[in-house]
Amino acid sequence: MPPDAVSCRKRAIHRILLPLFAAFLLTACVTAPVQQMSDARQAIQSAMEAGAARRAPELLQEARDLVEAAERALAARDYRRAGELAARAREKAIAAREASLASGKEERKTE
Report d(CA 42, CA 52) in Å as an integer: 14
pTM of the model: 0.72
pLDDT in tens, 71-82: 999 999 999 999
DSSP per-residue string spanning 37-87: HHHHHHHHHHHHHTTHHHH-HHHHHHHHHHHHHHHHHHHTT-HHHHHHHHH
Q: How high is the pLDDT of residue 1?
A: 54
Using a pLDDT cut of 70, give the percent of the chain over it: 81
Whether residue 105 is predicted with pLDDT greater than 90 in this model: the reply is: no
CA angle 44-49-53, nearest 5°? 70
Ranking 5-9, 24-28, 95-99 by mean pLDDT, the lowest is 24-28
Q: How high is the pLDDT of residue 102?
A: 95
Q: What are phi and psi of 4, to 5 degrees?
A: -65, -35
- The residue-averaged pLDDT of 11-40 equals 78
- The residue-averaged pLDDT of 30-50 equals 96
